[in-house]
Amino acid sequence: MNGKNAWAPVFDADRRAVSFGTDLSVLENVGAQLNAYGLHEGDTLTFPEDITIGTQAPRREGQRPTYLVSCFINGVKTWLNPMFFLRNKRENGTNTPIYPKWAALGDAKAVVAQLIAQGGLKAGKLFKVQMADFNADGSAKMVPQLNDKGEVVVNADGSIVNVRATRSADYPTIPDPVIG
């Protein structure tokens, strides 16, 4: 690969195979912006005439798979996880839907059918959502519980009391479903 007329070496090529000789068509739709297969501020979501549904294995055993629906975001081919519309935020220890009117449709099939029926949608401004946090393997992230003084709470046996960790995430406003 690094012969007399070759370009510079490719980083990590000794561990990850590199091939050359393809044309520009391999770059079509590379770089589609993804947010766990969701939407960002200002994104326009539409669907092809014939959608494809994909299933991705869960990150760890015991979890459900991820379902992906073929779509266009800002005109670029990509995938949408319909759970984006059904996710819950963690607020004061309760799980409430981020998008309650979409969640009221019932399930991912109803959400996708509604999105297709109304011709997609356009995402609006961002807002902050307090979300449950997870480790890279998909397990719940736990952190020590703190009291009003910021001190770690301990059990009678001296062990630390852990609680579910949360994180702040940005989600775009989206219009309610157009039913009718």
Question: DSSP for 105-132?
Answer: T-SHHHHHHHHHHTT-EE---EEEEEEE
Average pLDDT, the chain: 86
Instruction: With respect to residue 143, please indicate whether it lies within any of the assigned structural domains.
Output: yes
- Nearest to 170, CA basis, from 121, 129, 123, 133: 129
Instruction: With respect to residue 27, please indicate whether it lies within any of the assigned structural domains.
Output: no
Question: In the chain, what percentage of residues exceed pLDDT 90?
Answer: 53
Reported as half-sphere exposure (CB side, CA atoms, 13 A), residue 160 has a value of: 9
For residue 32, how many other CB atoms are within 10 A of its CB?
15
Instruction: With respect to residue 142, please indicate whether it lies within any of the assigned structural domains.
Output: yes
- Nearest to 92, CA basis, from 11, 169, 163: 163
pLDDT band at 37 (very low <50, low <70, confident <90, very high): confident
Instruction: With respect to residue 40, please indicate whether it lies within any of the assigned structural domains.
Output: yes
- pLDDT at 178 exceeding the cut of 80: yes
Q: What range does the domain containing 43 cover?
A: 34-172
Give the count of domains, the chain.
Answer: 1
Please tell me the predicted confidence (pLDDT) of residue 180.
73
Q: CA end-to-end span of the chain, whole Å?
A: 60
**153 vs 15, more confident:** 153
**pTM, rounded to two decimals:** 0.72
Torsion of CA 47, 52, 53, 56, to 10 degrees: -110
Please tell me the predicted confidence (pLDDT) of residue 34.
55
Instruction: With respect to residue 15, please indicate whether it lies within any of the assigned structural domains.
Output: no
The C-alpha atoms of residue 3 and residue 1 are separated, in whole angstroms, by 6
Instruction: With respect to residue 13, please indicate whether it lies within any of the assigned structural domains.
Output: no
